[in-house]
């Protein structure tokens, strides 16, 4: 079992604002880190899978960075839009090759 912490638990931002949130995980025995976006009444959808220290990935206005030495990853959303409203989950991969999901950051973008 991995101790995964995501912060903040929830946040509200105005449309057009940029925002970021954090995923913290054990830095020892790191294998990979997943980010998922989960809209209400839908299923989680993968955003990124990150494996290397210093990795940066980008998909449209969403980007993520990874620091495996200190055990954290940031997810950034530039110019938030109402359709970005969702819960964002991170999940490091354990030694048993499974994912351990955090409880997520619930983002609400106010038009």
Partner 1 sequence: NAGVTQTPKFRVLKTGQSMTLLCAQDMNHEYMYWYRQDPGMGLRLIHYSVGEGTTAKGEVPDGYNVSRLKKQNFLLGLESAAPSQTSVYFCASTATSSYNEQFFGPGTRLTVL
CB of 98 to partner 1, least distance (A): 6
C-alpha–C-alpha distance, residues 34 and 43, integer Å = 15
C-alpha–C-alpha distance, residues 71 and 28, integer Å = 8
Assign 26 to helix, strand or coil.
coil
The residue (of 80 and 87) whose beta carbon lies closer to partner 1 is: 87
Residues lying near partner 1 in the complex (CB under 8 A) are found at 1, 4, 31-32, 34, 36, 42-46, 49, 51, 89, 91, 93, 97-104
CB of 103 to partner 1, least distance (A): 5
Element housing 106 (H / E): strand 105-110
CB of 13 to partner 1, least distance (A): 23
R_g of the chain computed on alpha carbons: 13
The residue (of 80 and 102) whose beta carbon lies closer to partner 1 is: 102
């Amino acid at each position: 079992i991995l101790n995964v912490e995501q912060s903040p638990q929830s946040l509200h931002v105005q449309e057009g604002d940029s925002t970021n949130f954090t995923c913290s995980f054990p830095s020892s025995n790191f294998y990979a880190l997943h980010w998922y976006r989960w809209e209400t009444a839908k299923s989680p959808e993968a955003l990124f899978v990150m494996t290397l220290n210093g990795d940066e990935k980008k998909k449209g206005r969403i980007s993520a960075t990874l620091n495996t030495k200190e055990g954290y990853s940031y997810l950034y959303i530039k110019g938030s839009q109402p359709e970005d409203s969702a819960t964002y989950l991170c999940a490091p991969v354990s030694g048993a090759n499974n994912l351990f999901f955090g409880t997520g950051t619930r983002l609400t973008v106010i038009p």
